[in-house]
Amino acid sequence: MRQSQLFTKTRREAPKDEVAKNAQLLIRAGFIHKEMAGAYSYLPLGLRVLNNVQRIIREEMNKIGGQELALTALQSPAVWKKSGRWDDEAIDVWFKTQLKGGGELGLGTTHEEPLTALMAEYVSSYKDLPRYVYQFQTKFRNELRAKSGIMRTREFIMKDLYSFSRSEDEFREFYEDCAEAYLAIFKRAGIGDYTFRTFASGGSFSKFSDEFQALSDAGEDTIYLHRGKRIAVNREVYTDGVLAELGISKGELEEVKAIEVGNIFPLGTRFSEALGLTFKDETGAEKPVIMGSYGIGPGRLMGTIVEILADDKGIVWPSEVSPFPVHLIAIAGSNKDVRAEADRLYDLLKENGIEALYDDRDIRAGEKFADADLIGISTRLVVSEKTLAEGGVEVSSRSEGQTAIVPDSTIIQHLKR
C-alpha cells in the first residue's frame, strides 16, 4: 500500500494520558486509537498485526486438532444460572444490560457455559469424543481499573479453546499438546526466548494450571524462574511443597516480573455436570465430559511484543507479525528516475506476492526514516540516487540495522529467502 494513501499519521509525541510503552508507541505509530479507558480501536496497521498474530494462533490450534467457530458476545442468563456464575458474586466483571421487551442479557466475559451447552446438543457417545473447539471472540470485562495500554482492557479479543475429553488421560495428552503449541506460537511471535511455561494456581476450578509468562518489567505478575531448566513458578503458588514437587529449590530461582500471555487449565467436570454435557461409554454408562480451557489474548500478545522488543527509536516487529513484510522507501526529492525505479520495484514486489508499505510521500528523508523506525516493519528497502548509482537496492532489517546493497535483479530471491 502506498503510504501517501494511509489515513493514519505518525506522531512525534505520545499522548500524556498514556504511560505504558506499548500504548505510547502503538498510538504514536498509528496502530491503535484510544476510544476510552480500556477500549482501543485497531487502525489499519494495527489490525494487520493483530490479524497476523491470530493467523499464527489459528495455524497452531488447527495443527493440534482445533475446530474454529464463533459464539455470540450476547449471552443468555439461562446457561450461566445453571453453573451459578450469573451472580455478580461469582463473576464481578459482568457487563449486564436489558432487552427492550424485558429480561436480562450479559456481554460475554468468557464462554464455558454457552459452549458446553452447545456441545451437549452434539455429543452423546464416546465416539463423539474427544473434540477441541476454539474461537477468536470479543470478551467484555468491566474491570475496576483498566491499565497498561492494550494489556488490560475492558473489551478485548481472546482466543479461547475448550477441550472435551473422555478421560483424565485423554485430557492430559491434549493439555500437553496444547502447551507445546503455545510455545510454538510465542516463538513465532518473536518472544519465544522470553516466554516460560509457569506453574500457577488453578483458581476455583482445579489445583493447578499453567501460565505462559513473558519476562518484562511491564508485567503484572511476579514469577520465580529457573532459567537452566526453563521452569517457572508463579508467586501465588511459590511454596516449599510445590518446589519439591517440581524438583527445584529456592536458591536456584530468580524473581522476575512477567506478562501472562497465555493460560491453560483443567476444568474437570465443573461445567459438563452443571450443563448436562455427558456421553455414554463403551459399556453404556453415562459419564460427564472432562473439560479444559486454553486462552491467549492476541491484543495482549501484540502489546507484549512491543514491550519486549521495541528500542529507543520505536517498535520492532518480528517478521511473522510485521504489518507488512517490507517497507519500501523512496528517497527521491525531485529526482524522477528514483521515483520511477521505486514505483517499478513496488510493482515488482506486488507481482511476486510481497506486500509492501511504500513510502511514496513527498517529504524529507529524515522524516521517512524516523517514521519507518517507529512503525517497525521488519525489512526495509531504500531506493535513492545513491542506490541507483550502485545498481541495487538498500536492504536492512529493523532488528539488526546493518544495511546491504542488493542488486535489483536478485531482490525478490533475497526477500523470499
Partner RNA sequence: CGGGCCGUCGUAUAGUGGUAGUACGCGUGCUUUGGGAGCACGUAGUCCCAGUUCGAUUCUGGGCGGCCCGACCA
In sequence order, what are the residues at sequence separation of 6 or more whose Cβ sits closer than 8 angstroms to the Cβ of residue 152?
38, 143, 146, 220, 300
In sequence order, what are the residues at sequence separation of 6 or more whose Cβ sits closer than 8 angstroms to the Cβ of residue 333?
none
Q: Is residue 315 exposed (0-12), middle (13-18) or buried (19+ Cβ within 10 Å)?
A: buried
Least spacing, CB of residue 326 vs RNA, in Å: 15
Please tell me whether residue 201 binds RNA under the rule CB under 7 A: yes
Among 99, 100, 145, 312, binds RNA (CB under 7 A): 145
Least spacing, CB of residue 217 vs RNA, in Å: 10
Please tell me whether residue 274 binds RNA under the rule CB under 7 A: no
- Would you say 299 and 262 are in contact if contact means Cβ atoms under 8 Å apart? no
- Binders of RNA among residues 76 to 105 (CB under 7 A) are 91-93
- Binders of RNA among residues 158 to 177 (CB under 7 A) are none
Please tell me whether residue 235 binds RNA under the rule CB under 7 A: no
How far apart (Å, rounded) are the C-alpha atoms in residues 331 and 344?
14
Instruction: Kindly write out the interface string for residues 311-340 of this chain, putting x where it contacts RNA by CB under 7 A and - elsewhere.
Output: --x-----------------x-xx------
3-state secondary structure of 46: helix
Among 49, 382, 395, 411, binds RNA (CB under 7 A): 382
Q: Closest Cα partner for 308 from 221, 214, 184?
A: 214
Please tell me whether residue 10 binds RNA under the rule CB under 7 A: yes
Helices 168-188 and 44-63, axial angle in degrees (round to 10):
140
- Would you say 380 and 329 are in contact if contact means Cβ atoms under 8 Å apart? yes
Looking up cell 482445533 gives 66
Among 371, 378, 398, 415, binds RNA (CB under 7 A): 371
How far apart (Å, rounded) are the C-alpha atoms in residues 408 and 388?
10
Runs of H (alpha helix) within 196-328: 240-246, 270-275, 298-309
Looking up cell 517457572 gives 232
Q: 131 is written with which cell numbers?
A: 473434540
Least spacing, CB of residue 336 vs RNA, in Å: 12
Among 273, 281, 320, 385, binds RNA (CB under 7 A): 385
Please tell me whether residue 127 binds RNA under the rule CB under 7 A: no
Please tell me whether residue 209 binds RNA under the rule CB under 7 A: yes
CB-wise, 379 or 384, nearer to RNA? 384
Among 203, 276, 391, 407, binds RNA (CB under 7 A): 203
| Residues at the contact surface with RNA, assessed by CB under 7 A | 9-20, 28, 36-38, 91-93, 110, 112, 143-148, 152, 201-206, 209, 220, 263, 265, 293, 313, 331, 333-334, 364-367, 369-374, 382-387, 394, 403
